[in-house]
Amino acid sequence: MSRSTLGLLERRLLFVTGKGGVGKTSVAAAIGWLAAARGLRTLVCEVDAKGNLADFLGVGPLQFDPVEVRPNLAAMAMDTEASLREYLRLNLRVPLVARLGPVARTFDFVASAAPGVKEILTVGKLAYEVRERNYDLVVVDAPATGHVIGQLASPVAINDLVKVGLVRSQTDWMIELLTDADVTGVVVVTIPEEMPTTETLELIDRLHDETDIDVASVVVNRVLPEIFSRPESVVFDRLRSAEGLAVVRSELGPAVDEVVDGADLAVRLRRSRVPHLTRLREGLGDDVPLLYLPFLFHRSHGVRATSVLADAISDELGH
């Protein structure tokens, strides 16, 4: 598979994944927010039924039918049963599929018996939106590391089972779309800590080994700020030396020690992340673009955080 030279927002289908809790939903919302602000007709889709994407977009609970969040930005929640109904309506031209009550029950039965069915209905719906050019960009708040491969590989898994017929003709175009690096990419979100770094490197290896899907970017989220520039560090080092402290303490009292300790903690916390960032960079090599997003010290994490992260992504993309 050849890698794409396209930028993140030039692709058309992005699956945002990563270890639990690292910021997948935040980043998916922010990518969608940025793309829409840049004029791309964008759909953000949440796959996890218990997800909180709506909170990050400042809208009410999401449904299968997309809602408009702001100009150019629509959001939906995946519902595999609704996806099947839509598929049947579009492909089998069955009128009033909604009246076929047993479809739901049969579906549940089939979906729990045959692995990959729910996944293909998810991926199929998203790929369909891309194929039909209903949106310029579809961003998927995808399952966490452990489950995403199964979802991305589902068309291939089903292709291996079914050699001919209707299903095969459906999975063929999906595979084509998913394995075209100019169309589809995976965005792996991580944070500069040991376990997420390990999981990210393992996931990327597995994506290469088990799928033909390109990694569009690794997003390192919650990067702590460098609080001092080099000249400021020199001042800080002098300040926290015994003589420096003695001078300032005589002027401002013993609370100076706590203020200096606080700043020292911020410096050390940031430094403690460096080895993980280095391991990540070295593990990824030059192939995968890395984006860094700042730790947000906001009290609430709604639309405001989304727009700050969108600006940060925009800065990182550099154009």
Ligand X SMILES: Nc1ncnc2c1ncn2[C@@H]1O[C@H](COP(=O)(O)OP(=O)(O)OP(=O)(O)O)[C@@H](O)[C@H]1O
Q: Residues in the site for ligand X, rule: CB under 6 A?
A: 18, 20-26, 52, 144, 221-222, 293, 295-296, 301
Task: Give yes or no for a contact between 31 and 139, defined as CB atoms under 8 angstroms apart.
Answer: yes
For ligand X, the closer of residues 91 and 272 by Cβ is: 272
- Which residue lies nearest ligand X, judged by its C-beta? 301
Stretch of residues binding Mg ion (CB under 5 A), selected from 19-27, 64-72, 75-83, 219-227:
19-27
From CA 224, how far away is CA 232, in angstroms rounded? 17
Cβ-contact 292, 316 below 8 angstroms: yes
> Does the protein bind Mg ion through residue 17 (CB under 5 A)?
no
**Binding partner at 20 among ligand X, Mg ion, none, C-beta below 5 to 8 Å by kind:** ligand X
| Structure-token pair, residue 18 | 């990563």
**Residue 313 beta carbon to ligand X: minimum distance, rounded to whole angstroms:** 11
Q: Enumerate long-range contacts of 121-124, CB under 8 Å, 24 or more apart.
A: 121/80, 121/83, 121/84, 121/87, 122/47, 122/78, 122/80, 122/83, 122/151, 122/154, 123/151, 123/152, 123/154, 123/155, 123/174, 123/178, 124/83, 124/87, 124/155, 124/170, 124/174
Closer residue to ligand X, CB minimum distance, 2 or 300: 300
> 59 CB contacts (<8 Å, ≥6 apart)?
67, 69, 75
Residue with smaller CB distance to ligand X, 222 or 276? 222
Q: How far is the CB of 76 from ligand X (least distance, A)?
A: 16
What's the min distance (Å) between Cβ of 141 and Mg ion?
6
Cα gap 80→108, rounded to integer Å: 10
Residue 293 touches which of Mg ion, ligand X, none (Cβ within 5-8 Å per kind): ligand X
Minimum CB–partner distance for residue 39 and ligand X (Å): 25
Instruction: Pick from 25, 80, 83, 145 the residue near Mg ion by CB under 5 A.
Output: 25
Give the dihedral sign, CA 215/217/222/224: positive
Long-range pairs, 160-167, Cβ under 8 A, ≥24? 166/91
Q: Which of 188/215 has CB closer to ligand X? A: 188
In whole angstroms, the minimum distance from the beta carbon of 291 to Mg ion comes to 18
With a CB cutoff of 8 Å and minimum separation 6, the contacts of 255 are: none
Report if residue 190 touches Mg ion, rule: CB under 5 A. Answer: no
Q: How many residues bind Mg ion (CB under 5 A)?
A: 2
Among 17-25, 95-103, 125-133, 297-305, which window interacts with Mg ion (CB under 5 A)?
Answer: 17-25
- For Mg ion, the closer of residues 25 and 200 by Cβ is 25
Contact of residue 22 among ligand X, Mg ion, none (CB under 5-8 Å per partner type): ligand X
Pairwise CA distance, residues 17 & 141, whole Å = 7
Q: Which is nearer to ligand X, 176 or 311 (CB)?
A: 311
Give the pair of three-digit tokens for residue 43. 């759909």
Q: Shortest Cβ distance from residue 312 to ligand X (Å)?
A: 8
Rounded CA separation 216/290 (Å): 9
Minimum CB distance to ligand X smaller for 34 or for 256: 34
Residue labelled with tokens 């792996």: 188
Binding site for Mg ion (CB under 5 A): 24-25
